[in-house]
Amino acid sequence: MSVYRRFTDALLQWYSQHQRDLPWRHTRDPYAIWVSEIMLQQTQVSRVAASYYPNFLEKFPTVQSLAAASWDTVYPYWKGLGYYQRGKNLLKAAKMVCDQFDGQVPLERDLLRLLPGIGDYTSAAIISFATDARLPAIDTNISRLIRGLWPRRSVSKVAYGLIRQARSGRDWNSAMMDLATHLRTHRSVEGGLAEFFPPKVVQRIYPPRPKPKPKPKRKYTRKIEVGVACIYEHGRYLIQTRPEGKTFTGRWEFPGGKREKGEDFRACVKREIMEEIGVEVSVRPHFYEEICHFGATQLVLRFHRCQIQAGTPQPLEGQELDWVPPSQFGSVHFLDTNRNALARLQQMRV
């Protein structure tokens, strides 16, 4: 028996006992599978499975229903996932499917790759999971497994050699994904797969993280000070996305901006809020200060609770605005620099 056959047999035996129960594994609908694959890009499986995926499909159960929608209609069901270009590409591609393919998601790789947001991996995943084709969907994790086991061979050739030994391409791809997740967490595997993953191989695939070295004292040559406005109204806080062209585009944050020379923080917040969203606010003394270091730059953020005195918030810099209660902070993809301030706000009365 070839080594590929032995590995695949052991893999599928292990999968039969350890497979994850995920909602998109209960369908062969290429549209529903496509939605799951786009949502799962750079997003935790648990977050997608728990709410975003079922809620999205309840609102847009077919590619036709999605194609008939606008981004304003789709946005509430994507809000909090971050990387909003994924959702916009999904909407644009749905319209193309209805216009160019009579509302049928194409199941040929060359045609799928014509749709925005679909590349080599996603096209293979849609076809394999929808048709059970023995087509490997090679993502970063599967590639890492194969390189760890057969470091001198082509990842693509090994993947095709392995999947040909399976009766189900769908099961093989799912099993490889679950195995990668299991090994990353548990660092070992039982059953017939154990012979393929002795400790030295697991360490090659997922090297242990080195202990952090004490950071030498750094001289910071640049200091940026930012006044941040936590505007509250009716039990909710106003948040905005990072606009196109800035770092971390699409991530959520509280509005605010850089303090100018000779300007105090509260005056900075008033000015920035008028420039960004066109309202006049009252600014309380800061309740939290965050100091971050990026290379030779020291970033100082002061968070102030504010209330609107005049005007209605408008996205004057191309950002998206939303109001969220503290109880929903955990479902929003905030900038990491806002994390500690969010925890403080959740402990306050609004």
* 70 vs 91: CA distance, rounded Å: 8
Q: Helix (H, G, I), strand (E, B), or coil: what is residue 225? A: strand
Do 265 and 302 meet the contact criterion of CB atoms below 8 Å apart?
A: yes
Do 135 and 124 meet the contact criterion of CB atoms below 8 Å apart?
A: yes
Is residue 37 annotated as part of the catalytic site, yes or no? yes
* 276 vs 61: CA distance, rounded Å: 37
In whole angstroms, how far apart are CA 311 and each of 236, 268, 270, 273?
17, 18, 13, 11
Beta bridge partners of 222: 297
* 251 vs 335: CA distance, rounded Å: 6
Which stretches does DSSP call E strand in 264-343?
280-283, 288-294, 297-310, 321-324
Among 37, 253, 272, 276, which one carries the catalytic annotation? Answer: 37
Do 257 and 240 meet the contact criterion of CB atoms below 8 Å apart?
A: no
Residue with tokens 């660092």: 187
At 273, the amino acid letter reads I
- Residues with a catalytic annotation lie at 37
